[in-house]
């Protein structure tokens, strides 16, 4: 929650639209935040999400993936299938 206190802009996405609203309210702590309903395994939805974030904020500085189970590794090296 500390990041919101120093001016971060939060983007929360999930397949559950209600969950993203609740989460962004909790983590934005009065700061800027947007919610997007998207399924992490749907490549079209993820591309749309990426374009929306970049149009809205211009860049992504911190990315946290909290979806499912992963074997680890750098985000840019993870394939769609993984």
For residue range 32-73, list pLDDT tens digits in order. Answer: 778 888 888 888 998 998 999 999 889 888 877 776 656 666
Q: How crowded is residue 23: how many other Cβ atoms within 10 Å of its Cβ?
A: 18
Cα-flanking dihedrals φ and ψ of residue 60, to 5°? -115, 125
Confidence category of residue 29, pLDDT binned at 50, 70, 90? low
Question: Which residue, 65, 66, 49, is CA-closest to 57?
Answer: 49
pTM: 0.66
Please compute the mean of the pLDDT values over residues 7-25 and round it to a whole number.
80
| Tokens matching residue 2 | 């500390």
Torsion of the alpha carbons at 56, 58, 62 and 63, rounded to the nearest 10: 60
Question: What pLDDT shows up at residue 63?
Answer: 79
Grouping H, G, I as helix, E, B as strand and the rest as coil, residue 34 is strand
């Amino acid at each position: 929650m500390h990041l919101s206190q120093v001016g971060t802009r939060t983007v929360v996405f999930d397949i559950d639209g209600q969950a993203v609203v609740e989460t962004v309210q909790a983590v934005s702590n009065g700061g800027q935040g947007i919610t997007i309903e998207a399924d992490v395994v749907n490549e079209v939805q993820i591309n749309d999400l990426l374009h929306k974030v970049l149009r809205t904020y211009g860049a992504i500085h911190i990315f946290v993936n909290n979806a499912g189970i992963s074997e680890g590794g750098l985000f840019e090296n993870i394939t769609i299938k993984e």
